[in-house]
Structure 1
Amino acid sequence: MGIKSKIMHLVSFLLHGESKPIYAQVSYLSPGNRLAGKKIIITGGGRGLGFAMAKKFAAEGAEVLIAGRNEQTLKDSAAMIGCRYLKLDVSTPSEFEPFIEKSEKILGGANVLVNNAGISLHERTFFDVTPETFDKQIDTNLKGAFFLTQVFIAHLKNRNTKGNVLFVSSETGDTMDFRPYGFTKAAVNSMVQGLAYLFRKEGIRINAVAPGITASDMTGIKAGGNLNAGEYAAGRFYLPEEVAEIAAFLVSDSSGCVSGQIITCNNAQTINARWK
């Protein structure tokens, strides 16, 4: 499979009020067939990063099923991608067993799970966090991902099938936080390493991508809008397609020796450099 660079000229933004646009230069691997044979479930796949990953994976030859709470969004997105869909609320573990069973029937088995669904309620201060907002984020980002993975891996083992689980963490998992969202991502990072070690001899790989602030509905940043982020190493926010490119590598056989890794996608923004 050849490698070609594609320069994205559609994303421009103004830097510090200057009138001259700055263009984000993003390189992609040319779509090939590197995910042929992969049967992938993506939670939160109807929009944002989940949609970008589903689109990328399908272009690489994978059979893809996207899941989420809004059926109309799923239906529209599946039609655009050319994939399948099922409704799922990841904060409701009682749905997981029938969901995985249905997914496997639709896909003819599943060997990759992408735990992408997540929420951030963006509490402005420590005192804005409530028991309700705390539980909602824990239930979706951590508890849901844990128990869905538990059911998925049990099915892999029952079928004696090798597989791959990819979590979507966040750069906040590398840093301190006062909000439940950051706590969940730090816990996800620990879970990735723990599960990778647990299943290291069974052909089940567990990894994560940890994006910086990426254009999506959750962040409120539009991909075609102003991506200026002067405090960031890259000088801008990120595009979901950039992260999807890394995700495609991690679920492919090209990364067969990689497990227990959290790949942070933010140009070293959260590195704890002693000379800061």
Structure 2
Amino acid sequence: MRLEGKTAIVTGGGSGFGAGIARKFAAEGARVMVADIDADAAAAVADEVSGIARAVDVADDASVGGMARAALAEFSRLDILVNNAGITHLPKPMEEVPEAEFDRVLAVNAKSVFLTARHLVPHMKATGAGAILNVASTAGLSPRPRLNWYNASKGWMITATKTMAVELAPSGVRVNALCPVAGETPLLKSFLGEDTPEMRTKFLATIPLGRLSTPEDLGNAACFLCSDDAAMITGVAMEVDGGRCI
């Protein structure tokens, strides 16, 4: 029960890594707001973890503000914020990615971190404590061709994590990132281009431990970084990648 008495928001919590993080947080004693652009998915996971659901577009200021107000009204205090919501563009040469697709990737993967900070960092500063976790990617550390702007958005998130950590440390707020390798999530097909046995075999050959990351892997790592066990850890980008980045 490492998170007993804690409260948390997990964006993109309706599926994949976000759902795994929400489940682990709840199992460790936290009260969780499951926030997702898919209201039904958020509700399903929230029901499972005895949490609360919130429909949110993390790229929209008004929507993020509403999520923040709802969480504080429900919990009165927010201890943990997980910026997990993310999207990618399909693999293609960088110059062929449509402008609208580029804009959406940067809005969901990067602007969302700015927006949640706008609405929730003042509260954490006022309480003198808090843990923010940004779910980045190995793509931000070891980029692969044809996912250029997705790679760049995750690199931005890692740099944002470090600068947030430095600025917020005097206020007692820790900020870390997770860098998973591709996993069994709704985005897997987009990363691979096509989800076939041949493509999986080719990709798995680049991971020393020989498997994809799972929602449970991310939940375990997130729980550690957001718990008091990691009280002296801030500004790290932890690889949860089976050795992919070695």
TM-score (normalizing by structure 2): 0.90
| Counterpart-to-counterpart distance in 2, 1:155 and 1:105 | 12
Q: Which has the larger radius of gyration?
A: 1
Q: Structure 1 residue 214 and structure 2 residue 214: aligned?
A: no
Hey, what does 2:170 align to over in structure 1? 201
| SS of residue paired to 1:200 | helix
| Counterpart-to-counterpart distance in 2, 1:211 and 1:106 | 31
Q: Deviation at 1:249?
A: 0.1
Equivalent residues of 1:41, 1:113 under 8 A apart: yes
Hey, what does 2:207 align to over in structure 1? 232
Residue identity matched to 1:259: T
Match of 2:13 among 45, 60, 64: 45
Equivalent residues of 1:113, 1:149 under 8 A apart: no
Q: Deviation at 1:120?
A: 0.8
Match of 1:174 among 133, 136, 141: 141
Which range moves more in the overlay, 57-66 or 89-98?
89-98
Alignment root-mean-square deviation, CA: 1.7
| SS of residue paired to 2:127 | coil
1:1-276 equivalences in 2 (<5 Å): 33-157=1-125, 159-176=126-143, 179-220=148-189, 228=201, 229-271=204-246
Which range moves more in the overlay, 190-199 or 176-185?
176-185
Question: Deviations along 1:164-193, whole A, 9 cap, x unmatched?
Answer: 100000001112455211101001110111
| Counterpart-to-counterpart distance in 1, 2:128 and 2:55 | 25
| Counterpart-to-counterpart distance in 2, 1:117 and 1:258 | 23
| SS of residue paired to 2:220 | helix
| Counterpart-to-counterpart distance in 1, 2:206 and 2:178 | 21
| Counterpart-to-counterpart distance in 1, 2:8 and 2:44 | 18
TM-score (normalizing by structure 1): 0.81
Question: Deviations along 1:36-81, whole A, 9 cap, x unmatched?
Answer: 1210000000110000000000000001111011111111121122
Residue identity matched to 1:242: D
Aligned length: 235
Residue identity matched to 1:175: S
Q: Percent identity?
A: 27
Q: Unaligned 5+ residue runs, structure 2?
A: 191-195
Q: Unaligned 5+ residue runs, structure 1?
A: 1-32, 272-276
| Counterpart-to-counterpart distance in 2, 1:66 and 1:249 | 19
| Counterpart-to-counterpart distance in 2, 1:270 and 1:91 | 29
Question: Deviations along 1:114-147, whole A, 9 cap, x unmatched?
Answer: 0000001223222331111110000000011222
| Counterpart-to-counterpart distance in 2, 1:215 and 1:59 | 21
| Counterpart-to-counterpart distance in 2, 1:42 and 1:109 | 15
Q: Deviation at 1:88?
A: 0.6
| Counterpart-to-counterpart distance in 1, 2:72 and 2:233 | 25
Equivalent residues of 1:149, 1:165 under 8 A apart: no
Q: Deviation at 1:200?
A: 1.3
Question: Deviations along 1:4-58, whole A, 9 cap, x unmatched?
Answer: xxxxxxxxxxxxxxxxxxxxxxxxxxxxx11012100000001100000000000
Hey, what does 2:193 align to over in structure 1? none
Bigger relative contact order, structure 1 or 2, given CA contacts below 8 A and separation 6+?
2
Residue identity matched to 1:165: I
